[in-house]
Chains A and B, each alone.
Chain A
Amino acid sequence: MNIYIQAAAQISAQEPLSHAWFQHPLPLSERYVRSVEPDYKEYINPMEARRMGKILKRALATSLNVVRKTGINQPDAIITGTGLGCIENTEKFLTAMVRDKEMYLQPTYFMQSTHNTISSQIALHLKCNKYNTTYAQRGISFESSLLDAYMQFELEKIRTALVAGYDEMTPDYFVLLDKINYWKKGEVNEAILRKSDSVGAISGEASACFMLENKKSNLSVCELKGIDILYNPNQKRIKDALEELLGKHNLCIEDIDVVMTGINGDKDNDAVYNELERNLFPSIPLAWYKHLVGESFTASGLAMFISTMALQEQVLPASYLYNGSSAIQGLKNILIYNHFQNKEHSFILLSSC
């Protein structure tokens, strides 16, 4: 069984619905970074767009973008990962409910508050009656979606799948998470994040969408070789799981060209990657991306977008390198490693095709 990434689209702090920025991403210098919104007119009727929350617009635009690129308008599965779901609509309903003491409420925001609004709106737009689901497990929400799709390819239940990760961060929720030290205090820049000597990361938003297919074509960007998620693993469990995944493809750890890590400047978060580097990847270059897109529950979706671009362009520019300073040329295998609070761990193996 082979799974190919046929198209990818993203909306983030970088240029939306584009990969032109991949070679020269913009550095971030604020602790709360929202996505750059594209012109939605090409994808959504403006009347309809006005009634939609940000996350829904981003989801529809990225989904329709990969549908158009591939011509696959009836994917066998639509699977979304989102840690917080439609938090903007949830907040609007919650705020009104608390403020007006459960009176005078309108259903609109409630109707579009559930996490699965995203997958179902995509299905609604494509009039697609097939498999449709949504995952919401903190930092492995996107990976859970990918795993679901991967297994259904394996079981030959599907031939195509639209898999995505979406998260928005509202000003109010940013403030709440700031109270519990999710975000860096004070000034932020790459040098400060590299030090990993304080708590908190840059708050970002993520929209990353992929069309997967079991057949290689001239559209194929790279191959999805494997995906695994682990809960509370020790170093041995991680090593075993990784070797098992690599072994299936006759690969070993040394065959990995670069490990795309979730290093984000938070000292506890980054210490986990340092330990992994010592135990598992002592001779493999580490890359990072959260200094360019910020942290969010589905930031790893953007890691997959960036890795997909690197395999297509056969270069990982220096901006993404955590250790080492010159771009890596000629890439064959990229391992995306992410963890959330050292509880949920995940890795994704992508290979050139």
Chain B
Amino acid sequence: MMSERILVTGMGIISGLGYGKQATLDALCSKHSGIGKMKYLQTIHNYYPVSEVPMSDAEMMDSLGISSQTIITRTPLLGIMALKEAFIEAYLDKERPRRIAFINGTTVGGMEKSEQYYPDFQNTEAYIAAHDCGTSCEAIAEYFDGFDMITTISTACSSAANAIILGANLLKTGRVDVAIVGGTECLSKFHLNGFSTLMILDKEACKPFDAKRVGLNLGEGAAYLVLEKEQHAKQRGVQPICILSGYANTCDAYHQTASSPDGQGAYLAMHNALEDAHLHPHDIDYINAHGTGTQNNDLSEGTAIMRVFNDNIPPVSSTKSFTGHTTSAAGSVESIISILALLHNFIPANLNFNNPMPELSFCPVKDTLTKKMQHVLTNSFGFGGNDSACIFSKID
């Protein structure tokens, strides 16, 4: 039995590429990366390039009509900005379906404030309660009001992808009418120092899938997709964008912070997502890779891509060379980038690539390519081997 199709009916995004889908598309097409000199994050390690959202907290609060006295951290602010765009596109600002689920992915919640006020939060006690991940989700939900259920997924860098998966399951079981899914994470000293101690940050712009790659650049951002069943979208009269045709979540179960040499978790995620979508590897027109630019990830993921696609490897690129690694938001940021590529029939470039990896049978796409597309696959992998893949397809 084929279950009813799950459609994407709204998308909103904010990242180092700017605010909104149009700014994102323009940057991708003109190969204009968001990675550059640090501006907002206050750290002694300011020599690391990052991809920051080009707005201060105050600017975002002002544009959202949030009083400057409000206790809110940067992560939910980014989330509200992104969700607002998705809301309008899906007509949710006009008429609210009764049962809306909001599923948010985040890893360190209000850490960006906690690390400023730690250890005693002198005169900033109100931020103590803003520390945990769930508060960021509540803060976003409170701004929009009227959600029937909310929850937070915290699987590090695959959080947003797993939010997409939960949202789809909520729709398939008929528990909700609309699921808003994605993730948000701002830059923090905590993350920057953490990745720095693991020695996986590049001091220059990252070079995913390059033989001379040395690490990743951190980014920040938020992105959300509005999901609903086909019939429901039709009834509401909302224009569908594309189909969420398949997804899978697996675990590499190899090491807490390293990926397995054979990419077993990544292999299973892509393989199972294809199976879920009832598609064959040759049906996929583009892979938006997790492609962090670390030695370990790109080899493991590349090996897994070779195992799944054999001699028929579709164009691959990592758009982290544009957005940096937006951690918890990466799954939805890159889903939206993949969908933009699908809709506009182009493959975004994998910037800074020069030297093929000897271990791999393929090279990433170096320059923007025009290609007629039907199905795109996007990978999101996290610490602990939390690997997920999602497939989006054009509406015929």
Contact = CB atoms under 8 A, between A and B. Distances in A.
Residue among B111, B128, B141 with max Cβ neighbours from chain A (10 Å) = B128
A99 to B, nearest CB: 8
Interface string B112-154: 0011001101000110110011110110010000011111111
Interface in A101-116: 101-103, 105-107, 110-116
A116 B105 CA distance: 12
A93 interface: yes
B148 to A, nearest CB: 6
B250 A230 contact: no
A122 to B, nearest CB: 9
B128 A97 contact: no
A120 B169 contact: no
B253 A126 contact: yes
A141 B137 CA distance: 12
Interface stretch (A171-179, A273-281, A286-294): A171-179
B317 interface: no
B194 A135 contact: no
Interface string A106-142: 1100111111110111011011111111111110110
Interface string A82-104: 11110000000111011001110
B194 A85 contact: no
Interface stretch (A24-32, A148-156, A189-197, A310-318): A148-156
Given A97-B190, A110-B198, A231-B147, A177 B153 contact: no
Given A101-B44, A116-B155, A151 B175 contact: yes
Interface stretch (B220-228, B234-242, B380-388): B380-388
Given A102-B43, A151-B175, A120 B264 contact: no
Given A129-B253, A140-B151, A180-B125, A107 B134 contact: no
Nearest to B199: A107
B270 to A, nearest CB: 13
A258 interface: no
B190 A133 contact: no
B256 A111 contact: yes
A133 B249 contact: yes
Given A115-B133, A116-B156, A129 B115 contact: no
13 contacts: A93-B190, A94-B114, A94-B118, A98-B119, A102-B189, A106-B197, A111-B257, A113-B194, A124-B253, A133-B249, A135-B153, A136-B106, A231-B102
A231 B264 contact: no
Interface in B143-195: 147-156, 162, 166, 169-170, 172-173, 175, 189-190, 193-194
A334 B120 CA distance: 42
Size class of the contact patch on chain A: 35 or more
B107 interface: yes
B194 A107 contact: yes
Given A94-B190, A152-B169, A131 B151 contact: no
A128 B198 contact: no
Given A111-B257, A120-B385, A124-B253, A133 B155 contact: yes
A131 B119 contact: no
A15 interface: no
Contacts of A233: 148
Contacts of B190: 93-94, 97
A344 interface: yes
B384 A120 contact: yes
The 7 A-B residue pairs with the shortest CB-CB distance, nearest first, are A120-B384, A110-B194, A138-B134, A132-B251, A107-B197, A115-B154, A136-B133
B254 A124 contact: yes
Between A106, A144, A297, the greatest number of chain B beta carbons within 10 A of the residue's beta carbon is seen for A144
A106 B196 CA distance: 10
Contacts of B134: 83, 136-138, 141, 297, 344
B117 to A, nearest CB: 10
A154 B173 contact: yes
B385 A137 contact: no
A116 B45 contact: no
B169 to A, nearest CB: 5
Given A135-B154, A179-B121, 4 more contacts: A83-B134, A97-B193, A132-B155, A151-B169
B41 to A, nearest CB: 11
Interface of A: 78, 82-85, 93-95, 97-98, 101-103, 105-107, 110-117, 119-121, 123-124, 126-138, 140-141, 144, 147-148, 151-152, 154-155, 172, 176-177, 179-180, 229-233, 237, 297, 343-344
Interface string B256-273: 110000001100100000
A225 B72 CA distance: 38
Contacts of A230: 148-149
A117 B154 CA distance: 10
Contacts of A126: 253
B289 to A, nearest CB: 20
A85 B155 CA distance: 11
A112 B189 contact: no
A180 B189 contact: no
Nearest to B43: A102
A95 B386 CA distance: 27
Given A120-B386, A129-B253, A133-B162, A179 B128 contact: yes
B197 A117 contact: no
A117 B114 CA distance: 21
Contacts of A177: 128
Contact of A117 (B118, B193, B265, B384): B384
B94 interface: no
Contact of B154 (A116, A123, A148): A116
Q: Which of A98, A134, A141, A343 has the most CB of B within 10 A?
A: A134
Give the one of B147, B162, B166, B197 with max A CB within 10 A.
Answer: B197
Nearest to B172: A155
Contacts of A117: 256, 383-384
A97 B115 contact: yes
Given A130-B250, A151-B170, A137 B115 contact: no
Contact of B256 (A85, A120, A131, A229): A120
B132 A98 contact: no
B334 interface: no
B249 A98 contact: no
Contacts of A111: 198, 256-257, 383
Contact of A231 (B119, B128, B148): B148
